[in-house]
Structure 1
Amino acid sequence: MSASQSTSSSDPASNPKVSPDDATYYTWSSFFSILTGNASTREREAYFRVKDTINAEADCKRCVRDTKWLFANSPIIRFMKHNIDLLGPSDGSASITPERVICQKCDAKQSGGFDPEYGILICANQMRNWGHTEDTIAHEMVHAYDHLRFKMDAVHNLRHAACTEIRASTLSGECRWGREFFTRGQWGVTQQMQECVRRRAALSVAARPGCRDAAHANQVVNEVWDSCFNDTRPFDEIYK
Protein backbone atom coordinates (compact mmCIF):
# COMPACT_ATOMS: atom_id res chain seq x y z
CA MET A 1 0.00 0.00 0.00
CA SER A 2 1.33 3.43 -0.92
CA ALA A 3 1.62 6.33 1.49
CA SER A 4 -1.10 8.23 -0.34
CA GLN A 5 -3.46 5.24 -0.14
CA SER A 6 -2.87 4.70 3.56
CA THR A 7 -3.37 8.35 4.50
CA SER A 8 -6.68 8.54 2.65
CA SER A 9 -8.30 6.16 5.16
CA SER A 10 -10.14 7.39 8.24
CA ASP A 11 -8.16 8.67 11.20
CA PRO A 12 -7.21 5.63 13.36
CA ALA A 13 -7.12 7.75 16.50
CA SER A 14 -10.90 8.15 16.27
CA ASN A 15 -11.68 4.69 14.88
CA PRO A 16 -12.05 1.97 17.59
CA LYS A 17 -11.82 -0.78 14.95
CA VAL A 18 -8.24 0.13 14.04
CA SER A 19 -5.58 -1.80 15.95
CA PRO A 20 -2.49 -0.18 17.50
CA ASP A 21 -0.37 -1.78 14.76
CA ASP A 22 -2.50 -0.15 12.08
CA ALA A 23 -2.18 3.20 13.86
CA THR A 24 1.59 2.78 13.97
CA TYR A 25 1.72 1.95 10.25
CA TYR A 26 -0.47 4.94 9.52
CA THR A 27 1.91 7.11 11.49
CA TRP A 28 4.99 5.88 9.66
CA SER A 29 3.41 6.07 6.21
CA SER A 30 2.21 9.60 6.94
CA PHE A 31 5.66 10.48 8.28
CA PHE A 32 7.32 9.59 4.98
CA SER A 33 4.58 11.38 3.09
CA ILE A 34 5.34 14.51 5.13
CA LEU A 35 9.08 14.13 4.50
CA THR A 36 8.57 13.98 0.75
CA GLY A 37 6.19 16.95 0.82
CA ASN A 38 3.23 14.92 -0.41
CA ALA A 39 1.07 15.21 2.71
CA SER A 40 -1.86 17.60 2.79
CA THR A 41 -2.56 19.85 5.76
CA ARG A 42 -5.29 17.45 6.91
CA GLU A 43 -2.91 14.49 6.67
CA ARG A 44 -0.20 16.33 8.60
CA GLU A 45 -2.65 17.19 11.37
CA ALA A 46 -3.90 13.60 11.47
CA TYR A 47 -0.33 12.29 11.71
CA PHE A 48 0.51 14.44 14.71
CA ARG A 49 -2.85 13.68 16.33
CA VAL A 50 -2.18 9.94 16.11
CA LYS A 51 1.43 10.37 17.20
CA ASP A 52 0.36 12.33 20.28
CA THR A 53 -2.24 9.69 21.17
CA ILE A 54 0.27 6.85 20.88
CA ASN A 55 2.91 8.70 22.92
CA ALA A 56 0.56 10.32 25.46
CA GLU A 57 1.52 8.16 28.45
CA ALA A 58 5.26 8.44 27.83
CA ASP A 59 5.02 12.21 27.19
CA CYS A 60 3.14 12.77 30.45
CA LYS A 61 5.59 10.69 32.47
CA ARG A 62 8.51 12.63 31.00
CA CYS A 63 6.73 15.92 31.74
CA VAL A 64 6.12 14.94 35.39
CA ARG A 65 9.75 13.85 35.78
CA ASP A 66 11.09 17.06 34.24
CA THR A 67 8.73 19.19 36.35
CA LYS A 68 9.92 17.63 39.62
CA TRP A 69 13.55 18.09 38.57
CA LEU A 70 12.99 21.73 37.61
CA PHE A 71 11.31 22.62 40.90
CA ALA A 72 14.31 21.17 42.72
CA ASN A 73 17.09 22.50 40.49
CA SER A 74 16.03 25.32 38.13
CA PRO A 75 17.06 28.78 39.43
CA ILE A 76 14.21 30.58 37.66
CA ILE A 77 11.54 28.11 38.80
CA ARG A 78 12.78 28.17 42.39
CA PHE A 79 12.96 31.98 42.36
CA MET A 80 9.44 32.36 40.98
CA LYS A 81 8.04 29.85 43.46
CA HIS A 82 9.62 31.76 46.36
CA ASN A 83 8.14 35.08 45.21
CA ILE A 84 4.70 33.58 44.57
CA ASP A 85 4.76 32.09 48.08
CA LEU A 86 5.54 35.55 49.51
CA LEU A 87 2.42 36.99 47.89
CA GLY A 88 0.04 34.16 48.66
CA PRO A 89 -1.92 33.41 51.87
CA SER A 90 -0.08 31.83 54.79
CA ASP A 91 -1.85 28.50 54.30
CA GLY A 92 0.05 28.01 51.04
CA SER A 93 -3.14 27.58 48.99
CA ALA A 94 -1.78 29.78 46.18
CA SER A 95 1.65 28.17 46.10
CA ILE A 96 2.77 26.63 42.82
CA THR A 97 4.25 23.20 43.54
CA PRO A 98 4.98 20.21 41.28
CA GLU A 99 1.64 18.78 42.39
CA ARG A 100 -0.15 21.84 40.99
CA VAL A 101 1.50 21.43 37.58
CA ILE A 102 -0.74 19.16 35.53
CA CYS A 103 0.82 17.34 32.58
CA GLN A 104 -1.57 16.11 29.92
CA LYS A 105 -2.06 15.73 26.19
CA CYS A 106 -3.58 18.82 24.58
CA ASP A 107 -5.41 18.93 21.27
CA ALA A 108 -5.04 22.70 20.93
CA LYS A 109 -1.84 24.28 19.62
CA GLN A 110 -0.62 25.58 22.97
CA SER A 111 2.20 24.88 25.40
CA GLY A 112 0.37 25.47 28.66
CA GLY A 113 -1.96 27.61 30.70
CA PHE A 114 -2.62 28.99 34.16
CA ASP A 115 -5.78 28.86 36.25
CA PRO A 116 -5.85 30.48 39.72
CA GLU A 117 -7.91 27.60 41.10
CA TYR A 118 -6.23 24.58 39.51
CA GLY A 119 -2.67 25.74 38.89
CA ILE A 120 -0.55 25.26 35.78
CA LEU A 121 -1.30 23.09 32.76
CA ILE A 122 1.60 21.78 30.68
CA CYS A 123 0.77 20.26 27.31
CA ALA A 124 3.10 17.28 27.48
CA ASN A 125 2.76 16.42 23.79
CA GLN A 126 4.01 19.90 22.84
CA MET A 127 7.18 19.86 24.98
CA ARG A 128 10.34 19.40 22.91
CA ASN A 129 12.74 18.93 25.85
CA TRP A 130 13.24 19.89 29.49
CA GLY A 131 14.37 23.40 28.47
CA HIS A 132 11.06 23.99 26.71
CA THR A 133 9.26 22.71 29.81
CA GLU A 134 11.28 25.10 31.98
CA ASP A 135 10.38 28.10 29.79
CA THR A 136 6.71 27.10 29.77
CA ILE A 137 6.45 26.63 33.55
CA ALA A 138 8.30 29.94 34.09
CA HIS A 139 5.89 31.67 31.69
CA GLU A 140 2.85 30.39 33.56
CA MET A 141 4.42 31.22 36.93
CA VAL A 142 4.71 34.86 35.81
CA HIS A 143 0.94 34.74 35.20
CA ALA A 144 0.47 33.29 38.70
CA TYR A 145 2.64 36.06 40.19
CA ASP A 146 0.76 38.77 38.27
CA HIS A 147 -2.59 37.34 39.39
CA LEU A 148 -1.55 37.68 43.05
CA ARG A 149 0.50 40.88 42.82
CA PHE A 150 -1.63 43.00 40.50
CA LYS A 151 -5.08 41.33 40.78
CA MET A 152 -5.23 41.02 37.01
CA ASP A 153 -8.30 39.87 35.12
CA ALA A 154 -6.60 38.38 32.07
CA VAL A 155 -9.81 36.77 30.82
CA HIS A 156 -12.05 39.82 30.38
CA ASN A 157 -9.65 42.78 30.45
CA LEU A 158 -7.61 42.92 27.24
CA ARG A 159 -5.08 45.39 28.64
CA HIS A 160 -4.47 43.10 31.60
CA ALA A 161 -4.13 40.13 29.24
CA ALA A 162 -1.64 41.98 27.03
CA CYS A 163 0.43 43.14 30.00
CA THR A 164 0.78 39.76 31.66
CA GLU A 165 1.58 38.11 28.30
CA ILE A 166 4.27 40.71 27.60
CA ARG A 167 5.80 40.13 31.02
CA ALA A 168 5.56 36.34 30.81
CA SER A 169 7.24 36.11 27.40
CA THR A 170 9.92 38.61 28.43
CA LEU A 171 10.81 37.15 31.83
CA SER A 172 10.46 33.42 31.14
CA GLY A 173 13.29 33.39 28.59
CA GLU A 174 11.16 31.91 25.82
CA CYS A 175 11.93 34.89 23.56
CA ARG A 176 15.69 34.96 24.08
CA TRP A 177 17.76 35.10 20.91
CA GLY A 178 18.90 31.46 20.94
CA ARG A 179 15.37 30.09 21.32
CA GLU A 180 14.06 32.26 18.49
CA PHE A 181 16.98 31.53 16.17
CA PHE A 182 17.38 27.77 16.59
CA THR A 183 13.81 26.69 17.38
CA ARG A 184 11.47 29.06 15.56
CA GLY A 185 13.65 30.06 12.62
CA GLN A 186 13.45 33.78 13.43
CA TRP A 187 16.81 34.96 12.10
CA GLY A 188 16.65 38.69 12.62
CA VAL A 189 19.18 40.34 14.88
CA THR A 190 17.89 43.81 15.77
CA GLN A 191 15.06 43.94 18.35
CA GLN A 192 14.48 40.20 17.94
CA MET A 193 13.38 39.57 21.53
CA GLN A 194 11.00 42.52 21.47
CA GLU A 195 9.44 41.35 18.22
CA CYS A 196 8.97 37.86 19.66
CA VAL A 197 7.29 39.26 22.78
CA ARG A 198 5.01 41.49 20.71
CA ARG A 199 4.07 38.62 18.39
CA ARG A 200 3.25 36.19 21.17
CA ALA A 201 1.33 38.76 23.23
CA ALA A 202 -0.75 39.84 20.22
CA LEU A 203 -1.61 36.22 19.36
CA SER A 204 -2.77 35.59 22.92
CA VAL A 205 -4.85 38.78 23.07
CA ALA A 206 -6.41 38.00 19.68
CA ALA A 207 -7.76 34.73 21.10
CA ARG A 208 -9.67 36.51 23.91
CA PRO A 209 -13.47 36.90 23.63
CA GLY A 210 -13.40 40.70 23.65
CA CYS A 211 -10.84 41.11 20.88
CA ARG A 212 -12.25 42.11 17.49
CA ASP A 213 -9.35 41.11 15.23
CA ALA A 214 -5.55 41.04 14.89
CA ALA A 215 -5.37 44.82 14.43
CA HIS A 216 -7.24 45.33 17.70
CA ALA A 217 -4.87 42.90 19.47
CA ASN A 218 -1.81 44.80 18.19
CA GLN A 219 -3.35 48.10 19.28
CA VAL A 220 -3.88 46.84 22.84
CA VAL A 221 -0.33 45.47 23.02
CA ASN A 222 1.07 48.80 21.85
CA GLU A 223 -0.96 50.70 24.45
CA VAL A 224 0.60 48.85 27.40
CA TRP A 225 3.97 48.01 25.87
CA ASP A 226 6.30 50.54 27.53
CA SER A 227 5.09 50.04 31.09
CA CYS A 228 4.74 46.26 30.92
CA PHE A 229 7.89 45.40 28.96
CA ASN A 230 10.01 47.46 31.35
CA ASP A 231 8.38 46.03 34.49
CA THR A 232 10.66 43.11 35.41
CA ARG A 233 9.24 42.37 38.87
CA PRO A 234 10.02 40.15 40.73
CA PHE A 235 13.41 40.21 38.92
CA ASP A 236 15.79 43.18 39.10
CA GLU A 237 16.27 42.81 35.34
CA ILE A 238 15.42 40.40 32.54
CA TYR A 239 16.76 37.07 33.80
CA LYS A 240 17.67 35.35 30.53
Structure 2
Amino acid sequence: MRHENGKDKTGKTREMVNKILSLKHKSPFVGTLIEAMSDAGCKVNPYKHICIEDCHSNFNIFGGFDSENNQVVLCQNKFDDVYLDFDKFAQMESLLSHELVHAFDHCRANVDFYTNPKHLMCSEIRAASLSGQCTYGSNLIESTLNAVQSYHKTCVRKAALRSFRALFPAWSLDQSYNLLNEVFYSCYNDFSPFDRIPLTKKQAELSYKAYLNRHRYKV
Protein backbone atom coordinates (compact mmCIF):
# COMPACT_ATOMS: atom_id res chain seq x y z
CA MET A 1 0.00 0.00 0.00
CA ARG A 2 1.38 3.41 -0.92
CA HIS A 3 0.23 6.46 0.97
CA GLU A 4 0.02 10.04 -0.24
CA ASN A 5 0.09 12.76 2.40
CA GLY A 6 -3.07 14.85 2.64
CA LYS A 7 -3.04 16.39 6.09
CA ASP A 8 -5.69 19.04 5.41
CA LYS A 9 -8.08 16.45 3.95
CA THR A 10 -8.01 14.11 6.91
CA GLY A 11 -9.82 16.36 9.40
CA LYS A 12 -13.34 15.12 8.71
CA THR A 13 -12.23 11.50 8.74
CA ARG A 14 -10.46 12.02 12.07
CA GLU A 15 -13.62 13.65 13.44
CA MET A 16 -15.59 10.57 12.39
CA VAL A 17 -13.11 8.26 14.10
CA ASN A 18 -13.24 10.37 17.26
CA LYS A 19 -17.04 10.19 17.18
CA ILE A 20 -16.95 6.41 16.91
CA LEU A 21 -14.56 6.31 19.87
CA SER A 22 -16.52 8.82 21.96
CA LEU A 23 -18.49 7.73 25.01
CA LYS A 24 -21.73 8.97 23.44
CA HIS A 25 -21.43 7.11 20.16
CA LYS A 26 -18.91 4.40 21.00
CA SER A 27 -19.23 1.36 18.76
CA PRO A 28 -19.60 -1.85 20.81
CA PHE A 29 -17.38 -3.62 18.27
CA VAL A 30 -14.62 -1.00 18.48
CA GLY A 31 -15.05 -0.59 22.24
CA THR A 32 -14.62 -4.29 22.98
CA LEU A 33 -11.54 -4.59 20.80
CA ILE A 34 -9.81 -1.51 22.21
CA GLU A 35 -10.46 -2.61 25.80
CA ALA A 36 -9.18 -6.11 25.00
CA MET A 37 -6.03 -4.81 23.32
CA SER A 38 -5.28 -2.67 26.34
CA ASP A 39 -5.71 -5.68 28.62
CA ALA A 40 -3.39 -7.68 26.34
CA GLY A 41 -0.66 -5.06 26.69
CA CYS A 42 -1.28 -3.30 23.36
CA LYS A 43 -3.04 -0.11 24.39
CA VAL A 44 -4.36 1.84 21.41
CA ASN A 45 -3.46 5.51 21.09
CA PRO A 46 -5.87 6.77 18.39
CA TYR A 47 -3.48 9.44 17.15
CA LYS A 48 -0.52 7.07 17.02
CA HIS A 49 -2.07 3.75 16.03
CA ILE A 50 -4.96 4.89 13.81
CA CYS A 51 -3.43 6.58 10.78
CA ILE A 52 -5.57 8.52 8.27
CA GLU A 53 -4.05 9.05 4.86
CA ASP A 54 -4.74 9.27 1.16
CA CYS A 55 -4.13 5.83 -0.30
CA HIS A 56 -3.07 5.05 -3.83
CA SER A 57 -6.07 5.34 -6.12
CA ASN A 58 -5.12 2.13 -7.94
CA PHE A 59 -5.93 0.04 -4.87
CA ASN A 60 -9.60 -0.77 -4.31
CA ILE A 61 -9.34 -0.78 -0.52
CA PHE A 62 -10.62 1.44 2.25
CA GLY A 63 -7.91 0.63 4.77
CA GLY A 64 -5.62 -1.98 6.23
CA PHE A 65 -3.51 -3.03 9.19
CA ASP A 66 0.22 -2.38 8.98
CA SER A 67 1.68 -4.95 11.38
CA GLU A 68 5.24 -3.68 10.90
CA ASN A 69 4.30 -0.26 12.32
CA ASN A 70 1.36 -1.44 14.47
CA GLN A 71 -0.99 0.97 12.73
CA VAL A 72 -4.51 0.79 11.39
CA VAL A 73 -4.50 2.78 8.14
CA LEU A 74 -7.77 4.39 7.00
CA CYS A 75 -7.99 5.69 3.44
CA GLN A 76 -9.82 9.00 3.74
CA ASN A 77 -9.87 9.62 -0.03
CA LYS A 78 -11.89 6.44 -0.52
CA PHE A 79 -14.57 7.76 1.81
CA ASP A 80 -15.05 10.76 -0.45
CA ASP A 81 -16.96 8.38 -2.73
CA VAL A 82 -19.44 7.52 0.02
CA TYR A 83 -22.02 10.27 -0.29
CA LEU A 84 -24.25 9.88 2.76
CA ASP A 85 -22.80 10.78 6.16
CA PHE A 86 -24.66 7.87 7.80
CA ASP A 87 -23.17 5.41 5.31
CA LYS A 88 -19.73 6.90 5.89
CA PHE A 89 -20.13 6.47 9.63
CA ALA A 90 -21.35 2.87 9.31
CA GLN A 91 -18.59 1.95 6.88
CA MET A 92 -15.96 3.59 9.05
CA GLU A 93 -17.25 1.77 12.14
CA SER A 94 -17.10 -1.56 10.30
CA LEU A 95 -13.70 -0.87 8.75
CA LEU A 96 -12.15 0.29 12.02
CA SER A 97 -13.51 -2.78 13.82
CA HIS A 98 -12.27 -5.06 11.01
CA GLU A 99 -8.73 -3.73 11.18
CA LEU A 100 -8.72 -3.75 14.98
CA VAL A 101 -9.47 -7.49 14.89
CA HIS A 102 -6.29 -7.89 12.84
CA ALA A 103 -4.46 -5.69 15.35
CA PHE A 104 -5.80 -7.77 18.24
CA ASP A 105 -4.77 -11.01 16.53
CA HIS A 106 -1.30 -9.60 15.95
CA CYS A 107 -1.09 -8.49 19.58
CA ARG A 108 -2.15 -11.78 21.14
CA ALA A 109 -0.62 -14.24 18.68
CA ASN A 110 1.94 -12.35 16.58
CA VAL A 111 0.05 -13.29 13.41
CA ASP A 112 2.13 -13.41 10.22
CA PHE A 113 -0.07 -11.65 7.66
CA TYR A 114 2.50 -11.46 4.89
CA THR A 115 3.99 -14.94 4.48
CA ASN A 116 1.61 -17.33 6.25
CA PRO A 117 -1.63 -17.71 4.22
CA LYS A 118 -3.30 -19.76 6.94
CA HIS A 119 -2.72 -17.03 9.52
CA LEU A 120 -4.12 -14.40 7.17
CA MET A 121 -7.20 -16.41 6.21
CA CYS A 122 -8.00 -17.13 9.85
CA SER A 123 -7.71 -13.47 10.80
CA GLU A 124 -9.83 -12.41 7.81
CA ILE A 125 -12.56 -14.84 8.90
CA ARG A 126 -12.49 -13.43 12.41
CA ALA A 127 -12.40 -9.82 11.16
CA ALA A 128 -15.43 -10.35 8.93
CA SER A 129 -17.29 -12.13 11.72
CA LEU A 130 -16.52 -9.77 14.62
CA SER A 131 -16.44 -6.33 12.97
CA GLY A 132 -20.16 -5.87 12.34
CA GLN A 133 -19.83 -5.97 8.56
CA CYS A 134 -21.96 -9.13 8.41
CA THR A 135 -24.54 -8.32 11.09
CA TYR A 136 -28.27 -7.96 10.62
CA GLY A 137 -30.27 -5.14 12.17
CA SER A 138 -30.68 -5.46 15.93
CA ASN A 139 -34.49 -5.57 15.82
CA LEU A 140 -34.78 -9.13 14.56
CA ILE A 141 -36.92 -11.48 16.60
CA GLU A 142 -35.59 -14.73 18.07
CA SER A 143 -37.50 -16.93 15.60
CA THR A 144 -35.27 -15.70 12.78
CA LEU A 145 -32.03 -16.63 14.56
CA ASN A 146 -31.30 -19.64 12.36
CA ALA A 147 -31.68 -17.53 9.23
CA VAL A 148 -29.43 -14.84 10.72
CA GLN A 149 -26.74 -17.38 11.58
CA SER A 150 -26.88 -18.82 8.08
CA TYR A 151 -26.62 -15.37 6.50
CA HIS A 152 -23.77 -14.41 8.82
CA LYS A 153 -21.66 -17.47 7.95
CA THR A 154 -22.23 -16.97 4.23
CA CYS A 155 -21.34 -13.29 4.45
CA VAL A 156 -18.21 -14.01 6.49
CA ARG A 157 -17.01 -16.63 4.02
CA LYS A 158 -17.45 -14.26 1.07
CA ALA A 159 -15.82 -11.32 2.83
CA ALA A 160 -12.86 -13.36 4.10
CA LEU A 161 -12.24 -14.88 0.69
CA ARG A 162 -12.39 -11.48 -0.98
CA SER A 163 -9.95 -9.92 1.50
CA PHE A 164 -7.58 -12.88 1.33
CA ARG A 165 -7.40 -12.85 -2.46
CA ALA A 166 -6.71 -9.11 -2.45
CA LEU A 167 -3.50 -9.81 -0.51
CA PHE A 168 -2.64 -13.15 -2.17
CA PRO A 169 -3.65 -12.52 -5.80
CA ALA A 170 -1.35 -15.27 -7.09
CA TRP A 171 -3.49 -17.90 -5.41
CA SER A 172 -6.14 -19.50 -7.59
CA LEU A 173 -9.79 -19.39 -6.57
CA ASP A 174 -9.74 -23.14 -5.89
CA GLN A 175 -6.66 -22.86 -3.67
CA SER A 176 -8.24 -20.02 -1.73
CA TYR A 177 -11.53 -21.91 -1.29
CA ASN A 178 -9.70 -25.00 -0.05
CA LEU A 179 -7.84 -22.97 2.57
CA LEU A 180 -11.04 -21.20 3.59
CA ASN A 181 -12.79 -24.54 4.10
CA GLU A 182 -9.81 -25.95 6.00
CA VAL A 183 -9.72 -23.27 8.68
CA PHE A 184 -13.24 -21.82 8.62
CA TYR A 185 -14.95 -23.44 11.58
CA SER A 186 -12.02 -23.30 13.99
CA CYS A 187 -11.46 -19.61 13.20
CA TYR A 188 -15.15 -18.69 12.99
CA ASN A 189 -15.77 -20.21 16.41
CA ASP A 190 -12.87 -18.28 17.92
CA PHE A 191 -14.76 -15.11 18.83
CA SER A 192 -12.32 -13.74 21.42
CA PRO A 193 -12.43 -11.08 22.87
CA PHE A 194 -16.24 -11.16 22.53
CA ASP A 195 -18.28 -13.57 24.64
CA ARG A 196 -20.31 -14.60 21.59
CA ILE A 197 -20.41 -14.14 17.82
CA PRO A 198 -22.20 -10.77 17.50
CA LEU A 199 -24.88 -11.58 14.92
CA THR A 200 -26.60 -8.24 15.54
CA LYS A 201 -25.50 -4.89 16.93
CA LYS A 202 -27.64 -5.56 20.00
CA GLN A 203 -25.63 -8.71 20.67
CA ALA A 204 -22.43 -6.71 20.23
CA GLU A 205 -23.68 -4.21 22.81
CA LEU A 206 -24.44 -7.02 25.27
CA SER A 207 -21.01 -8.52 24.67
CA TYR A 208 -19.34 -5.14 25.24
CA LYS A 209 -21.19 -4.69 28.54
CA ALA A 210 -20.21 -8.20 29.56
CA TYR A 211 -16.57 -7.45 28.80
CA LEU A 212 -16.61 -4.24 30.83
CA ASN A 213 -18.23 -6.06 33.76
CA ARG A 214 -16.18 -9.28 33.54
CA HIS A 215 -14.39 -8.68 36.87
CA ARG A 216 -17.37 -7.24 38.70
CA TYR A 217 -18.13 -10.29 40.83
CA LYS A 218 -14.57 -11.46 41.44
CA VAL A 219 -13.03 -11.16 44.90
| TM-score, scaled to structure 1 | 0.65
Q: Give how far 1:125 is off.
A: 2.7
1:20-63, Cα deviation, whole Å (9 max, x unpaired): xxxxxxxxxxxxxxxxxxxxxxxxxxxxxxxxx9xx77762221
Check conservation: 1:211, 1:217, Cα contact below 8 A: no
Which structure has the higher relative contact order (CA within 8 Å, separation 6+)?
2
CA distance in 2, matches of 1:59, 1:201: 30
Superposed, which structure 2 residues align to 1:209-224 within 5 Å? 209=168, 211-224=170-183
Greater Rg by CA: 1
**Correspondence 1:104 to 2:53:** yes
* Code of the aligned partner of 1:124: Q
Indicate the larger mover: 167-176 or 145-154: 145-154
Q: How many residues align?
A: 172
Q: Report SS of the residue matched to 1:177.
A: coil
Q: Give how far 1:126 is off.
A: 2.8
Q: Report SS of the residue matched to 1:154.
A: coil
Matching residue within 74, 80, 83 for 1:122: 74
1:184-225, Cα deviation, whole Å (9 max, x unpaired): xxxx97822222211121122223348521111111111000
Matching residue within 47, 50, 60 for 2:10: 60
Relative to structure 1, the CA distance from residue 124 to residue 164 in structure 2 (aligned partners, 3 Å threshold; closer, same or farther) is: same
Matching residue within 60, 70, 87 for 2:20: 70
Q: Report SS of the residue matched to 1:104.
A: strand
**Correspondence 1:159 to 2:118:** yes
Aligned to 2:64: 113
* Code of the aligned partner of 1:104: E
Matching residue within 128, 131, 134 for 1:175: 134
Q: Give how far 1:140 is off.
A: 0.6
Check conservation: 2:121, 2:179, Cα contact below 8 A: yes
Superposed, which structure 2 residues align to 1:221-240 within 5 Å? 221-239=180-198, 240=200
| TM-score, scaled to structure 2 | 0.70
Q: Give how far 1:119 is off.
A: 0.7
Check conservation: 1:158, 1:208, Cα contact below 8 A: no
CA distance in 1, matches of 2:33, 2:186: 21
Check conservation: 1:205, 1:211, Cα contact below 8 A: no
* Code of the aligned partner of 2:51: I
RMSD: 2.4
Query: What are structure 2's unaligned runs of at least 5 residues?
Result: 83-87, 138-146, 201-219
* Code of the aligned partner of 1:111: F
CA distance in 2, matches of 1:209, 1:131: 27
Relative to structure 1, the CA distance from residue 237 to residue 173 in structure 2 (aligned partners, 3 Å threshold; closer, same or farther) is: same
* Code of the aligned partner of 1:218: Y
Relative to structure 1, the CA distance from residue 190 to residue 118 in structure 2 (aligned partners, 3 Å threshold; closer, same or farther) is: closer
Q: Give how far 1:82 is off.
A: 1.1
Q: Give how far 1:118 is off.
A: 4.2
* Code of the aligned partner of 2:126: R
Query: What are structure 1's unaligned runs of at least 5 residues?
Result: 1-52, 89-93, 179-187
Aligned to 2:39: 86
**Correspondence 1:95 to 2:47:** no
Q: Report SS of the residue matched to 1:105.
A: strand
